[in-house]
Amino acid sequence: MSSNAYNLVRRLEPQWLQKRGRNSIRSPGDIRVYVQGNRQGGPNALRQIDVIDVKSIQFLQPDEATMRYGSGHDNGAILVNLKGQ
């Protein structure tokens, strides 16, 4: 069983953690993580979330993430919704 959200994603949807967009010096292209709509950082932020607290996890492709959150989402975004919030 996965103890945190990072391990859960790595086990069920490992492609979400792979960089896929264009990278440059100005846009290093880390996948961004949002919890309850608030940016938490890169994929390592998922390690701080216990799977028991997760209601849903969704991946946004780069174009979808850019439309929702603005520029800087060349590798997409992972959205986490927590139970009871």
- Quick: pLDDT tens for 40-53: 999 999 999 999 99
Q: What is the pTM of this model?
A: 0.87
Cβ neighbours around 85 below 10 Å, total: 8
pLDDT at 30: 85
Collapsed DSSP state (helix, strand, coil) of residue 81: strand
- Quick: pLDDT tens for 3-29: 999 999 999 999 999 886 555 554 556
- pLDDT of 71 > 80? The answer is yes
